């Protein structure tokens, strides 16, 4: 469950990124994250635990510093015991921003799930600290996470497996590399189980910056596909077999590009800065 927001405070931003975000020429997403975290006053902790590559954490440390962050340090976890260690907890409690890298989302949840570190990430976010994640790091942000799934098919009963995520919010379910890996079917399937959540499909190099007011704004070169099952007339998920396609009637879909917004509370989409339609 998401942590309670302290009276008079406001939640920090939650920033799922679709993976493969631009790092060299015009790193709009990472730059905005650094700015949000305080720029020169930023203190960003990078958690590279999802990744099995040695240099993932260092790479982001360097990137964030180049983008003007006052401080950026990685904090890796090899065992669940690491996630109870006082030194790490104290260090994380100072951060103004937390960044989860890509890799395998189940490495994050199996190592951190249920530990004091996971609890602290939720609590710090509720207290105003911004939490971003890319690819696997994006998937884990919400309460319900896509752990595995098939790509490139219509919604099918067995095409997606959910698992509990870090649980900063339960308002949405994230899917990343969205169009690059054709995940419309699996994200729709994830919603078909219980349509209360909103599906957020993030293209690569595209982020949803979700403010304390639950207004989502798109940054990056691709699109964010919002699947809103609130008006769902019918789902056959309760009666289909493993390999059968699922019947889903009445999904609302918005394809948002940079500058466009979606309010997770009112479920209203807006084109943002794009000039309003004339006809």
223 touching a copy of itself, by CB under 8 A:
yes
- Residues 107, 214, 272, 217, Cα dihedral to 10°: -20
Residue 221 CB, nearest approach to a copy of itself (Å): 8
- Residues 58, 64, 65, 66, Cα dihedral to 10°: 110
List of long-range contacts for 147-150, beta carbons under 8 Å, 24+ apart = 147/105, 147/106, 149/175, 149/183, 149/186, 149/189, 149/190, 150/185, 150/186
Q: Output 51 or 188, the one with its CB closest to a copy of itself.
A: 188
Q: How many residues bind a copy of itself (CB under 8 A)?
A: 44
- 44 beta partners: 72, 97
Quick one: which segment of 8-16, 60-68, 161-169, 239-247 binds a copy of itself (CB under 8 A)? 239-247
Which of 51, 61, 135, 159 is labelled catalytic? Answer: 135
Task: Give the residue, chosen from 102, 185, 199, 211, that forms a contact with a copy of itself under the rule CB under 8 A.
Answer: 185
203 touching a copy of itself, by CB under 8 A:
yes
204 in active site: yes
CA pseudo-torsion sign 230, 168, 272, 224: negative
| Cβ count near 190 (within 10 Å) | 26
Site for a copy of itself in 241-270 (CB under 8 A): 244-257, 260, 269-270
Residue ranges binding a copy of itself (CB under 8 A) = 152-155, 178-180, 182, 184-185, 188, 203, 221-223, 225, 227, 233-236, 239, 244-257, 260, 269-271, 274-277
């Amino acid at each position: 469950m998401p942590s309670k927001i302290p009276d008079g405070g406001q939640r920090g931003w939650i920033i799922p990124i679709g993976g493969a975000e631009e790092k060299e020429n015009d790193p709009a997403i990472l730059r905005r994250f650094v700015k949000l975290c305080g720029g020169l006053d930023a203190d960003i902790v990078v958690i590279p635990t999802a990744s099995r590559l040695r240099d993932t954490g260092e790479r982001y440390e360097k990137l964030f510093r180049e983008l003007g962050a006052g401080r950026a340090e990685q904090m890796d976890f090899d065992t669940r015991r690491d996630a109870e260690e006082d030194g790490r907890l104290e260090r994380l409690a100072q951060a103004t921003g937390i960044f989860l890298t890509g890799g395998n989302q189940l490495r994050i949840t199996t190592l951190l799930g249920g530990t004091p570190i996971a609890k602290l990430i939720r609590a710090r976010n509720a207290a105003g600290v911004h939490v971003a994640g890319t690819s696997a790091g994006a998937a884990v942000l919400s309460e319900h996470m896509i752990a595995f799934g098939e790509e490139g098919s219509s919604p099918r009963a067995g095409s997606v497996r959910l698992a509990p995520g870090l649980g900063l919010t339960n308002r949405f379910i994230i899917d990343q590399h969205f169009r690059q890996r054709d995940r419309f079917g699996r994200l729709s399937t994830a919603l078909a189980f219980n349509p209360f959540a909103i599906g957020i499909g993030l293209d690569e190099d595209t982020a949803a910056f979700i403010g304390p007011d639950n207004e989502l704004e798109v940054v990056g070169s691709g699109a964010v596909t919002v699947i809103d099952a609130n008006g769902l007339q019918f789902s056959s998920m309760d009666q289909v077999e493993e390999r059968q396609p699922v019947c889903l009637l009445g999904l609302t879909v918005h394809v948002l590009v940079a500058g466009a917004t979606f309010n997770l509370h009112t479920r209203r989409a807006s084109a943002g800065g794009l000039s309003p339609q004339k006809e």
